[in-house]
Structure 1
């Protein structure tokens, strides 16, 4: 595999993906609990996990770094995922999350939006990681939902731009700023259109239509939907996303649905 031009991604389920590139093995938002349990997110919100991971933590092999969009919601970091963190080389997350995880994991790097860190290692391709803005709910919800970031990964040899993991977000000024500041080649887009009964029509992650609007602006070569299945609080799944992208003929051929549990190589 030419690590400068291709990347291998394994969608484990939910927001969890294994990204292999340039000698690195990176894991996003570790969620490995079995299905069935109900989780409480605070302020009267909760959800039940409907699907377990396609790969068990012990089957992953060594993880060099975890890209953790946020640590305080169990659909992005559950108990089994949290147990994995100490064995990972580095955890890159929000500044607030790094403070909460301090002393629980080996090396933690906390990033505010637009801050950058760098992964370097002998014989490996250096990777620059930029934290990108998210808003995980309606306006003024940050004190309730907490801090969340996405991640833009850049390395030498990328043909079309950064690998961008949006993180859990709605369409807001911060996330719309990303395509204006970063050339995006591949986008891992968190979907789901999350809503909760207690807050009615208010949305906490991208709807399919919002994802289309964001991708029209970012213009990525490849669009990889994730975090759209496996939880009861998701209001939109693959069918809704496929329908929305079908109405954007310039984007529809770029959407790549990864088979859950199987590695796929993508040109980046």
Structure 2
């Protein structure tokens, strides 16, 4: 049985068969102001539902990118040395150093420990902004976890584009965890940096997962298409798409079986 706990923002805890895997650790309290570069920034409006000291042992951290503090903040960065295995982008691994594993699109690594199934972790493409924005926004990846019982996929921070759509051709996704929020900044006008609710619906039409779970839509001021926006998009979706979406109460462990 797979259990997922949405801790807040992009941070989620995956538990199954003895594994405890954390995504994008963000543990700073609410109220902080952050700069993302090139005139962009945001304010954190909600702290984590679970304090890192209450988490217990973590086997691995899957970090979609290390250079934006809404995905790895100061408290999250301080937490990383407590974990034996950190997997992130190739460029992020160079910045973090140590034994951090770096992946590029479609590269894989394995997580293994006695008494639990081996997990194949595959990096999936992301584009964290409009076309040609990569030199500004940097490398980002998603993560597909496969232990032989269906793929659990975290989209990472991305807009809807051909690279993300290719996941539907290459993987059979059972559970899709989708970073939404429709991030925008005043300095860049209408440009978006993550998926909107309508994007999430379009992606679920392609993926046809058993379950689709929105995360990273709350807790920060730069989200322009938060839970209400995603809910409106889901409400307008065909019934067979609508019924796949599931909201996780923040801070509560939920079985995905």
Alignment match, 2:27: 32
Q: TM-score, normalised by structure 2?
A: 0.98
Distance in 2 separating the partners of 1:37 and 1:85: 20
Q: Counterpart in 2 of 1:213? A: 202
RMSD of aligned alpha carbons:
0.7
- Per-residue deviation at 1:226? 0.3
Q: Which runs of 4+ in 1 moved over 6 A?
A: none
Q: Residues of 2 paired with 1:196 and 1:224: CA distance?
A: 25
The equivalent residue for 1:247 is 236
Question: Pairwise mapping of residues 164-179 of structure 1 onto structure 2 (< 5 A)?
Answer: 164-179=153-168
**After superposition, where does 1:113-262 map in structure 2 within 5 Å?**
113-156=105-148, 158=149, 161-248=150-237, 249-262=239-252
Q: Structure 1 residue 205: deviation in Å?
A: 0.1
Shift of 1:231: 0.2
Please give the alpha-carbon distance, in whole angstroms, between the structure 1 residues aligned to 2:189 and 2:40: 11
CA distance in 2: counterparts of 1:33 and 1:246, whole angstroms = 33
CA distance in 2, matches of 1:11, 1:251: 22
Q: CA deviation at 1:245?
A: 1.0
Q: Residue 243 of structure 1: CA displacement?
A: 1.1
Shift of 1:42: 0.1
Shift of 1:250: 1.2
Deviation sequence 1:193-212 (CA, Å, 0-9, x none): 00000000000000111111
Q: How many residues align?
A: 256
Which stretches in structure 2 are left out of the alignment for 5+ residues? Answer: none
Residues 242-266 of structure 1 deviation map (CA, whole Å, 9 limit, x = unaligned): 1111121211112111110110111
Structure 1 Cα separation of the partners of residues 17 and 143 of structure 2: 17
1:53-79 deviations in Å (ceiling 9; x for gaps): 000000000010000000000000000
What residue in structure 2 maps to residue 86 of structure 1? 81
Gaps of 5+ in 1: 1-5
Instruction: Give the Cα–Cα distance (whole angstroms) in 2 for the partners of residues 127 and 265 of structure 1.
Output: 19
- Whole-angstrom CA distance in 2 between matches of 1:181 and 1:253: 23
Q: CA separation in 1, counterparts of 2:63 and 2:211?
A: 22
Residues 171-219 of structure 1 show CA distances to partners (whole Å, capped at 9, x for unaligned) of: 1111111111000110000000000000000000001111111110001
Q: CA separation in 1, counterparts of 2:84 and 2:204?
A: 32
* Aligned-residue offset at 1:240: 1.0
